[in-house]
Amino acid sequence: MAVRASEKSGPQKEQETSKTTEITNTFEWLITAFILAFLVRAFIMEAYRIPTGSMADTLKGDHFRLCCEQCGYKYDCGSDLERYRLGKDAIAAGNIKLPISRCPSCGYYDSSGRAISISNGDRILVLKCFYQFFKPKQWDVIVFKNPLNPSENYIKRLIGRPGETVEIIDGDVYIDGQISRKPAKVQEELWMPVYDNDYQPALPREGSFNGHPWQQPFRNVAESKWSVDKSNPTVFQLDSPTGEISSLIYDTSIGNDFRDTYAYDSVGDYKNMPYCSDLMVRFYAQAGKGGSIGITASKYQTTYKAWVDLGGKMVIAKVSEGKETVLDSKTADASVMNKPALVEFANVDHQLIFKFGSDKLIYDLGRSADDAGERKRDIQPVVKIFGSGTVTLSHIAIFRDIHYTAKRSAFSPEEGRAIEGTPFTLGEGEFFVLGDNSPNSEDGRWWSKAGIGNNGQSYREGVVPRDYLVGKALFVYWPGGFEFPWPESVKTSLFKNSRHNGLARVMYWFVSWKWIPCISQMRFICGG
């Protein structure tokens, strides 16, 4: 019997040795994974959460995700940590009373004060050490250490680089005296809505739309023959003689105007914000017999026009002191007029960009500050749509460009750094940054103290030193989120008990957390 026991002991030992090896290998893999994760986080890529709205709408801090109760347009409104008596990086739990907001399309003021939950700030991935190998590009979205408090990380858009002179003139960025144009993908991200005709209020006679009942902001000029499709009020139709021009004008006394306002920010400053004259108008046009279709957009005292006729000829012209001058023209594919074709005209960064279908016509107004004419900031732009013949328009919308402000607020006389008349030149290893939410961003314009360095070293006011660059913002991997639809009675009960019961407090946090990501908002962050 002893011999048999000895014979069984061999396989048993091998089995025990195999289990020990598996456990050892598992720990080795866990340790390796931990080390790799640590190295990736330290040197390659790290996740961050956006706490504030200084980069809205590109990147959002904690915010209310809203849908206009009248027209259904979706937009976001920032939360105010001080308003809810929360500290930095805190997230309000449960439903919170909404501040007054305004729909960026129909202009409806939501003052209901209803309570809804706050969406968490965007969570992003940042490429660390990126700028150890590549030069920072203008318009990159960068993460850096706050020069006034290096223990904090900030995120802004890179505007100026070493050796460059930065000047903000009428909302545009100038580098070394020349206007700095945004790359196409960045520009597309920075367009902000002024009006979208696809979103019509359900109860136009009820509620306050910029202080009055809602009316269609596009109205006929003189004896214009444009009309609204009775079966679909989002569509405009024209039936007129081929040589007779009819015009629609966008009336800013009825609809949203062209001021530098953000749906994300407080409505209190709206009426005193500066005008933005860089605009884009787009719609889809389908032509019948003969005619033409075009867009008018003014800047300062000059009117610019772009149109296309049924022969496919695209034209850009300007009207100054009553005289019309053709600036450029080309022949496009006229066959697309038989079906709805994109028509888009933008006056942005001293360029006139006219699109028709897949064709594009661009006219450069010049890069110097005076090349677009004498600056008249108190003159509001004028937008018109004109045409002749038989034309149907749909998906009509107006957008404005980002407009960097020169004052801290609409009511403040305090002017920032690098504004018109006081250009700011960057030295070696110095960068200048701005927030996309310009009226509500603490950035290089406003830093009033020298940056804090090591060993008593300091950095010049208003700059981000190269030493403080953390990395390039790459991807929004968790854009806010949604709560799991727990029964409201469960949340209410946990909230009542959370003040006195630690377990209830933990459970309330669990059910209030936004576990479901907003997948449609996952996106790459556009930069230089």
pLDDT at 215: 94
- Residues 157, 79, single domain; the answer is yes
295 in a structural domain: yes
513 pLDDT higher than 70: no
DSSP, residue by residue, 174-229: EETTEE-PPPHHHHHHH-EEEEETT---SSTTSS-BTTB----SEEE-TT--EEE-
Amino acid at 468: Y
- Residues 244, 384, single domain; the answer is yes
| pTM, rounded to two decimals | 0.88
136 pLDDT higher than 60: yes
- Residues 36, 61, single domain; the answer is no
Instruction: Look at residues 432, 457, 425, 466 and name the one whose alpha carbon lies nearest to residue 447.
Output: 432
- Residues 387, 411, single domain; the answer is no
| Bond preceding residue 401 cis, omega within 30 of 0 | no
Domain that holds residue 22: 15-45
pLDDT at 411: 74
Domain count, the chain: 3
37 pLDDT higher than 90: no
Distances (CA, A) of 497 to 75, 507, 513: 34, 10, 17
3 pLDDT higher than 70: no
Residue with the bigger pLDDT between 30 and 249: it is 249
395 in a structural domain: yes
Average pLDDT, the chain: 87
511 pLDDT higher than 70: no
Instruction: Tell me the pLDDT band of 125, cut-offs 50, 70 and 90.
Output: very high
pLDDT at 264: 95
Q: Are 427 and 162 in contact (CB under 8 A)?
A: yes
pLDDT at 347: 98
- Residues 237, 189, single domain; the answer is no
271 in a structural domain: no
pLDDT at 113: 84
Tokens encoding 203? 């109860």
Mean pLDDT score, 61-90:
78
pLDDT at 2: 44
446 pLDDT higher than 70: yes
345 pLDDT higher than 60: yes
Q: Are 269 and 255 in contact (CB under 8 A)?
A: no
pLDDT at 6: 45
Q: 253-302 pLDDT, tens per residue?
A: 999 999 999 999 999 889 889 999 999 999 999 987 778 999 999 999 89
pLDDT at 277: 95
Q: What's the CATH number where 118 sits?
A: 2.10.109.10
Q: Residues in the chain, how many?
A: 528
135 pLDDT higher than 90: yes
pLDDT at 45: 81
Domain closes at, from 400, 430, 458: 400
481 in a structural domain: yes
E-strand ranges in 332-466 read 341-348, 351-356, 359-364, 383-400, 424-425, 430-434, 451-452, 458-459, 464-465
211 in a structural domain: no
189 in a structural domain: yes
pLDDT at 115: 85
DSSP, res 421: T
- Residues 185, 85, single domain; the answer is yes
- Residues 58, 185, single domain; the answer is yes
Q: What's the CATH number where 288 sits?
A: 2.60.120.560
Tokens encoding 333? 């594919």
Q: Residue 401 — φ and ψ, nearest 5°?
A: -80, 165
pLDDT at 5: 42
In b/e form, how buried is each residue of 203-230, taking b as 16+ CB within 10 angstroms?
A: ebeebebbeeebeebbeeeeebbbeeee
- Residues 124, 64, single domain; the answer is yes
9 pLDDT higher than 80: no
Residue with the bigger pLDDT between 116 and 395: it is 395
Domain closes at, from 373, 400, 427: 400
Mean pLDDT score, 491-518:
71
Tokens encoding 418? 């690098």
DSSP, res 336: G
- Residues 31, 91, single domain; the answer is no
Choose the weakest-confidence range: 49-53, 158-162, 323-327: 49-53
- Residues 480, 370, single domain; the answer is no
Choose the weakest-confidence range: 7-21, 62-76, 364-378: 7-21
- Give the Cα separation of 152 and 97 in Å (integer): 29
Highest mean pLDDT of the ranges 46-50, 406-410, 484-488: 46-50
- Residues 337, 228, single domain; the answer is yes
- Give the Cα separation of 191 and 203 in Å (integer): 28
5 in a structural domain: no
In b/e form, how buried is each residue of 242-272, taking b as 16+ CB within 10 angstroms?
A: eeebbbbbbebebbbbbbbbbbbbbbebbee
- Residues 19, 103, single domain; the answer is no
3 in a structural domain: no
Domain closes at, from 400, 435, 458: 400
